[in-house]
């Protein structure tokens, strides 16, 4: 289990990460989402032992990250957002170089390299020089490198950035394989729908602060409370009914931004719980010819824009 508690990081006086707390269970594929500058890379660098937090703790299976960096590095693989690859090496030589750094013997290295190249779908690029690989292939090679010491946690900083849809689909397939292998994966992106379709759970941050952390289903529930409600009335006598509806809605605490969208259609914000929504609907139908009453479903892109608004 990976647990962040009050994780905070200043760069000089600038607060880049503001008391971030979240928990990621073993074997979870966890998306880490936020607009550019939200603090994703800062968080991941702290988890990768490359940056010290100003305050707070991160613990992986009970081991505190900033206090035991060597131990953590054995359990964790990190793929940075910008990475260098050694151009004058072939794909297999590149992996071999790192496998040697970890002290693996020849037989073991050759077996491992074959397995890793297969996992990231680069078997046929074994003998290719790294500099002729596409960006997506380099990213996959870098991912293979992060897996050499068989870590239980993988931290992937925007691995799908700049990928075309095909490369993204391949990355998705690889992530699924990692999950099947029982690995815990924390993967960041500034694009919410990209992650929501492949992850079990998500954390959204903005301006270094937590916006949401939970399952993808919970996010939909969490957000539906913010979606506007639309109320459509029977066309007949609509002017009078509409005016009556507006007056009624104005008296209900928690209702805001009432607006008329069409002749017989109002929309409004209501932050109330489900019970209160049901009560509201009961009250409206008792007094007005209600034709339709529903929450406008929000798509994930809209949700993301809403929760990460500039303030």
Ligand X SMILES: Nc1ncnc2c1ncn2[C@@H]1O[C@H](COP(=O)(O)OP(=O)(O)O)[C@@H](O)[C@H]1O
- Residues 297 and 311: their CA atoms lie apart, in Å, by 24
Residues 61-120 within binding reach of Mg ion (CB under 5 A): 81
- Residues 239 and 48: their CA atoms lie apart, in Å, by 62
Buried b (16+ CB within 10 A) or exposed e, 88-126: eeebbebbbebbeeeebeeeebeebbeebbebbbbeebe
Closer of 17 and 141 to Mg ion (Cβ):
17
| 41 part of the interface to Mg ion, by CB under 5 A | yes
| 201 part of the interface to Mg ion, by CB under 5 A | no
Whether residue 213 contacts residue 266, with contact meaning beta carbons closer than 8 Å, is answered with no
| 42 part of the interface to Mg ion, by CB under 5 A | no
Helices first, then strands: H and E counts in the chain:
11, 14
Closer of 14 and 310 to ligand X (Cβ):
14
Q: What is the number of other CB atoms lying within 10 angstroms of the CB of residue 33?
A: 29
| 264 part of the interface to Mg ion, by CB under 5 A | no
Identify which range of 39-47, 105-113, 133-141, 160-168 contacts Mg ion by CB under 5 A: 39-47
> By three-state DSSP, how is residue 298 classified?
coil
State the residues that interact with ligand X by CB under 6 A. 11, 14, 16, 34, 36-42
Task: Choose the one of Mg ion, ligand X, none that binds residue 42, judging by a C-beta under 5 to 8 angstroms depending on kind.
Answer: ligand X
Closer of 170 and 206 to ligand X (Cβ):
206
> By three-state DSSP, how is residue 131 classified?
helix
Q: Tell the smallest beta-carbon distance from residue 310 to Mg ion (Å).
A: 18
Closer of 13 and 166 to ligand X (Cβ):
13
Task: Choose the one of ligand X, Mg ion, none that binds residue 39, judging by a C-beta under 5 to 8 angstroms depending on kind.
Answer: ligand X
Binding positions for Mg ion, rule: CB under 5 A? 40-41, 81
């Amino acid at each position: 289990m990976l647990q962040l508690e009050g994780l905070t990081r200043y760069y000089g006086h600038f607060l880049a990460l503001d008391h971030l707390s979240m928990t990621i269970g073993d074997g979870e594929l966890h998306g880490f989402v936020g607009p550019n500058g939200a603090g994703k890379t800062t968080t991941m660098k702290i988890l990768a032992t490359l940056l010290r937090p100003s305050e707070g703790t991160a613990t992986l299976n009970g081991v505190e990250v900033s206090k035991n960096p060597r131990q953590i590095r054995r359990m964790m693989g990190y793929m940075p957002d910008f990475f260098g690859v050694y151009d004058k090496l072939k794909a297999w030589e590149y992996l071999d170089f790192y496998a040697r750094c970890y002290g693996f013997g020849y037989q073991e290295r050759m077996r491992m390299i074959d397995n890793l190249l297969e996992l990231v779908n680069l078997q046929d690029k074994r003998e290719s020089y790294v500099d002729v690989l596409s960006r997506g292939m380099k990213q996959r090679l870098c991912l293979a490198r992060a897996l050499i010491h068989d870590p239980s946690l993988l931290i992937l900083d925007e691995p799908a950035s700049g990928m075309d849809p095909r490369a993204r689909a391949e990355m998705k397939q690889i992530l699924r394989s990692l999950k099947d292998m029982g690995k815990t994966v924390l993967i960041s992106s500034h694009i919410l729908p990209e992650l929501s379709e492949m992850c079990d759970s998500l954390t959204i941050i903005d301006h270094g602060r937590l916006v949401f952390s939970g399952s993808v289903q919970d996010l939909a529930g969490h957000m539906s409370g913010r979606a506007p409600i639309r109320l459509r009335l029977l066309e007949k006598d609509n002017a009078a009914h509409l005016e009556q509806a507006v007056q009624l809605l104005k008296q209900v605490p928690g209702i805001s931004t009432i607006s008329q969208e069409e002749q017989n259609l109002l929309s409004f914000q209501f932050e109330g719980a489900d019970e209160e929504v049901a009560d509201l609907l009961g009250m409206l139908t008792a007094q007005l010819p209600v034709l339709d009453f529903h929450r406008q479903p929000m798509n994930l892109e809209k949700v993301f824009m809403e929760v990460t608004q500039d303030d």
